[in-house]
Structure 1
Amino acid sequence: MRRLTLTLLTPFVALPLCAAEAKRPTPAEIIKQSPASDWRGLDPDNTVLMNVNGTDVIMELAPRFAPRHAANIRTLTREGYFDGLAVIRVQDNFVSQWGDPADDDDTKSPAKTLGSADKKLPAEFSIAYKGLPISKLGDADGFAPVSGFVDGFPVAADPKRNRAWIAHCYGVVGAGRGNEVDSSTGASLYAIIGHAPRTLDLNITVVGRVIKGMEALSALPRGTGAMGFYEKPEQYVPIRQARLLSQLPEAERPALEVLRTESKTWQQLVEARRRGTSDWYVYSAGHTNICNMTVPTRPKAAPAMP
């Protein structure tokens, strides 16, 4: 009789657990319920506002990972280097690249001067892993033993070799270079617009990520030349200007804030991504990776009234 009682009770014990599974909060609900302390503003000295063909693109620099390149890009931006340049390459499922169209061995036009920016920089492919405040993902990454997020950037790491680097995920910005590893200056930049080309990791200096305006770079006509370069000057997509937020009056700066990837809200979003959060899902992968995760931004909350 005791065994029968236990058997009959079992389905009734399981029912509340199934209901709890069905009521997991959606990403939108998680964000809506997040405390203000889980969000941060944009760093005016490390955020670039670039106007591409009439659309604003906002790019966060990564001074922790590429300090020399970030400093050079700040100098180039302050001195107006990018003003009047162009997107010169759009390769499908790969990158959009911008810079000086004349900065090419095949052109006869003089290249734009770099002004007071450094003309030579060391490669900054990785930094030390030890002591890095990384919010780790629990899921395996095929390109590195450890993966997670630092300062909002997708990061891969190899603890045994004591190195960490920003992964080439969608929206990540890198510095174009030639065959020499130290041939990048930040004057030529590209953004990933397709499936994550992780084989570029540890081969190019990553300098930042686009946090808003990716459509201005990803939806452009594809170049018809080799590697997606535009073949005619009239195909170039103009960059009207680029400014650091610190160069703009405070009232003209984008009023955005970014979710902290060291926050509890971020951890909840990662779990939601891993499992699916609605009745639409018939299968839950229970897995994600750094390039499947997008760090949310939102309009900056108005200050509370006294």
Structure 2
Amino acid sequence: MTKYVFAPFALLAIASAPEAAPSPAEIVSSAPATAWQDIAQEDLLEMTLANGSVVTIQLVHEFAPVHVANIRKLVAAHFWDGTSINRVQENYVVQWGDATEKKALPAGLGTAPASDYVRPLNGLGFLPLPYPDPYARRVGHGHGWPIATDGKQAWLPHCFGMIGVGRNLAPDTGNGAELYVVNGHAPRHLDRNLAVVGRVIDGISALTTLPRGTGALGFYEKPEERTFITSIKAGSRDRWQNLRIESPSFAAYSLARANRHDAFFNVPAGGADICNVPVPIRKLSVQAGGQ
């Protein structure tokens, strides 16, 4: 008797339970081929460490043109070959370059003005997020990148995995020979104070898992503590794509990042920081011919 009395109520509860919404990862994995676009090989670099790890970097040609041009010249001159990771500061940055500061720089490096830290918002196809941001008037995405803006000028925020150019005190802006990658909570207070020139799109764990430096600001105190860089070369052995920010798939993904209704979440946040809506990137094997 009991099972006949309670079975209908159980069925009613099951029938009325809301179906879990897809997670951001599920939305990305089901995005059609038309929602993806190739990342140009000319914007890619491969950093190979002495331990065999490979880190793939994407440069952003729409921003910091002088710095990016300098980086291309440094790569062509094999400047970083034999240099090292010199700084690993917990929850801040991993930095690399010539620890001796004696290695000759290639000829023709430009001197970037501070205006190289920003560019006009117009022309970036900016799609704003509908959430407030403490560091900028608006944030959103444009041309496959996270963007912050005051309404006229735009800049790249210091999100996890973003790469910037080290410098001395202003008016110095850095020449591109010292680079760093954000390895923790986004230090957005650095926005517009240093040039952001790209992001790590693969292999970042090879940098973030390195031993932390014990010196000031996380610098290594002894040469033997450094991890040496075998090479940084132009291009990638693989083909890479990013999700088109104007695609319905990205719109659904962005909404889901801010409003999690998949099975694990009980309370959706109702908002998202720009650094919590990274543009999805996928690797397509060249040997397999892509998909």
Task: Assess same fold via TM > 0.5.
Answer: yes
Contact 2:85–2:229 at 8 Å: present in 1 too?
yes
> Does the C-alpha gap of structure 1 residues 129 and 42 become closer, same or farther in structure 2, counting only changes over 3 Å?
closer
Tell me by how many angstroms 1:130 deviates.
2.9
2:4: which partner in 1? Answer: none
Q: CA deviation at 1:304?
A: 8.5
5+ long unaligned stretches in structure 1: 1-11, 104-110, 246-251
- Deviation for aligned residue 1:303: 5.1
Flag the 1:102–1:40 CA change in 2: closer, same or farther, 3 A. same
* Structure 2 counterparts to residues 247-286 of structure 1, below 5 A: 253-286=237-270
Counterpart of 2:212 in structure 1 is 222
Map 1:148-187 to 2 at 5 A.
148-159=140-151, 162-187=152-177
CA offset at residue 156 of structure 1? 0.4
Q: If the length of structure 2 is used for normalisation, what is the TM-score?
A: 0.88
Cα pair 1:86 1:98 within 8 Å, conserved? yes
One of 280, 285, 288 as aligned partner of 1:296: 280
Other-structure match for 2:46: 49
Aligned mates of 1:197, 1:216 — CA distance in 2: 21
Unaligned runs of 5+ in 2: 1-11
The amino acid across from 2:282 in the alignment is R
Shift of 1:23: 3.5
* Distance in 1, Cα, partners of 2:189 & 2:21: 36
Q: Structure 1 residue 125: deviation in Å?
A: 1.1
Tell me the alpha carbon deviations over residues 170-189 of structure 1, each in whole angstroms, 9 at most, x when there is no partner.
Answer: 00100000002333111000
Task: Give the TM-score, by structure 1 length.
Answer: 0.84
The reply on whether 1:136 has 2:103 as its aligned counterpart is: no
* 2:47–2:55 Cα contact (<8 Å) kept: yes
SS at match of 1:298: strand
Question: How far apart are residue 119 of structure 1 and its match?
Answer: 5.4
Q: Find the counterpart in structure 1 of residue 201 from structure 2.
A: 211
Alignment of 1:93 onto 2:91: yes
Using a 3 Å threshold, how does the CA distance of structure 1 residues 206 and 181 change in structure 2: closer, same or farther? farther
Question: SS where residue 46 of structure 2 aligns?
Answer: strand
CA contact (8 A) 2:24 2:256 kept: yes
Moved over 4 A (4+): 301-305
Contact 1:41 1:300 in 2 (8 A): no
The verdict on how the C-alpha distance between 1:217 and 1:117 changes in structure 2, with shifts beyond 3 A counting, is: farther
**Which deviates further from its counterpart, 223-232 or 127-136?**
127-136
SS at match of 1:50: strand
CA contact (8 A) 2:173 2:194 kept: no
Q: Deviations over 1:243-275 (max 9, x none)?
A: 111xxxxxx712332222232211111111111
Letter in 2 for 1:116: A
> 55-64 vs 111-120, which deviates more?
111-120
Amino acid at match of 1:279: A
In structure 1, what residue type is equivalent to 2:111? K
Could you list the per-position Cα deviations for residues 216-269 of structure 1 after superposition, in whole angstroms to 9, with x for gaps in the alignment? 111110000000000000011111101111xxxxxx712332222232211111
Between the two proteins, what is the percent identity of the paired residues?
39
The answer to whether the Cα contact below 8 Å between 1:76 and 1:117 also exists between their aligned partners in 2 is no
Higher mean alpha-carbon deviation, 112-121 vs 278-287, is at 112-121
Using the alignment, how far apart are the partners of 2:158 and 2:111 within structure 1?
23
Give, in whole Å, the separation in 2 of the partners of 1:288 and 1:205: 24
Q: Which residue of 1 aligns with 2:109?
A: 118
Higher deviation after alignment, 49-58 or 294-303: 294-303
Per-residue Cα deviation, 1:44-66 (whole angstroms, up to 9, x for no partner): 11111111232111111111111
Corresponding letter in the other structure for 1:63: H
**Deviates further, 293-302 or 180-189:** 293-302
RMSD: 2.0
Shift, 1:191, TM fit: 0.3
* 1:46 and 1:74 in contact (8 A); partners too: no
Give the Cα–Cα distance (whole angstroms) in 1 for the partners of residues 140 and 126 of structure 2: 6
CA distance in 2, matches of 1:151, 1:129: 11
Aligned to 2:9: none
